[in-house]
Amino acid sequence: MSESDAEREYPEGAACRIEDGVLVGCETSTFERYAGFLRRVHDSVTEES
């Protein structure tokens, strides 16, 4: 995932950030949104192959 993808999903000042591959400072609702985003990315990648 490129940084621009993360920026589109989470604009400046979002509660979530990633440090060393670990989600940090996430509220539950934000984390669930991010998990949904990862599922969409995974599904789109899986469909292409």
Each residue's pLDDT tens digit, 7-34: 555 555 556 677 787 767 666 566 777 8
Per DSSP, the three-state class of 43 is: helix
Task: Output the pTM of the full model.
Answer: 0.35
Domain tally, the chain: 1
Distance CA 46, CA 49 (A): 6
Say what the pLDDT of residue 31 is. Answer: 72
Distance CA 17, CA 6 (A): 9
Distance CA 3, CA 9 (A): 10
Return the biggest CA–CA distance within the chain: 35
Write out the residue range of the structural domain in which residue 31 sits: 3-48
Residue 41 has pLDDT above 70, yes or no: yes
